[in-house]
Amino acid sequence: MSTYRLDSDAVASYHEQGYHLFKQPVFATEKFNRLVAIFEDLVSQQAEGKRTDELDKPHFHDTRLFEFLMADEILDLVEPLIGPNIGLWSSHFIAKEPHVGRATPWHEDSSYWKGRLDRMDQIVTVWLALDRTDMENGCLRVIPGTHRNGFSEYVAVDKDTNTFGTEIRADQIDESLAVAFELQPNECSLHDGRIIHGAQANTSDRRRAGYTMRYFSLETQFNPAAPGNETHKLYHCRGENIANNPLEYVGILS
């Protein structure tokens, strides 16, 4: 498979800094519009009281999303970063509505997955912008290089105003180093699952929606007995199942 979408300098920078901004259209316009339409459809079906930042693992029940999750346009971005043996770990639509979109506290994704996988150094998140995203409407921000720091210490925060109930202690973060991921629709960012990142609340007049697609190397061992893994589904994307993980295969799903 082609890996032309990231050159050697981009790959080296990703491993050094823990992130990369792909400031080009990811999908053809018609295909991107189909994904946005699926998101809007799922939002319209949500139960009363559910927030639009809570559309977690939608591919578990909506197989339309595999057209995008398994797409060469995405996997050709992922492969140079974690290798040719790729599994789908999870996906998540996250939308911050105008004026009321909650903040995403500073965190490491890996801290929520501790014990579920035997290593955290081969997980990459693709964050695809569905709307224009910038500092005004609460774009993602990262602290470069923090993917090498290990697990941080967390404190409780108010979940009514935050998407999570905990955040990294303030004295462990230098916010002056933060890089804002400002993206146009159909552009994406990629970040290491261990990097410290977060987003401010959306106080603007514009929605900020994105589709998070998370991939892991199939050299990584999944722990079926770990809390959170009992009903979790992994999907084969490319290459060999080196660690012999329990994988689902698109096309033969029940």
Where exactly are the structural domains of the chain? 8-100+122-138+184-192+203-248
Rounded Cα distance between 58 and 64, Å, is: 10
pLDDT at 53: 63
| Residue from 248, 137, 124 nearest 200 by CA | 137
In the three-class reduction of DSSP (H, G, I as helix; E, B as strand; rest coil), residue 37 is classed as helix
121's tokens: 């150094």
Q: Across the strands, what pairs with 215?
A: 88, 124
Burial of 224 (0-12, 13-18, 19+ CB in 10 A): exposed
pLDDT at 1: 42
Residues of the chain scoring pLDDT < 50:
1-2, 252-254
pLDDT at 254: 36
- Do residues 194 and 100 touch, judged by C-beta distance below 8 A? no
Q: Indicate the pTM of the whole model.
A: 0.92
* CATH architecture of the region 8-100+122-138+184-192+203-248: Sandwich (2.60)
Strands 104-107 and 197-199: antiparallel
- Do residues 138 and 199 touch, judged by C-beta distance below 8 A? yes
Rounded Cα distance between 16 and 169, Å, is: 24
Rounded Cα distance between 28 and 8, Å, is: 24
| Residue from 80, 69, 81, 68 nearest 2 by CA | 80
With a CB cutoff of 8 Å and minimum separation 6, the contacts of 133 are: 139, 140, 181, 182, 183, 208, 210
| Residue from 23, 171, 16, 161 nearest 101 by CA | 161
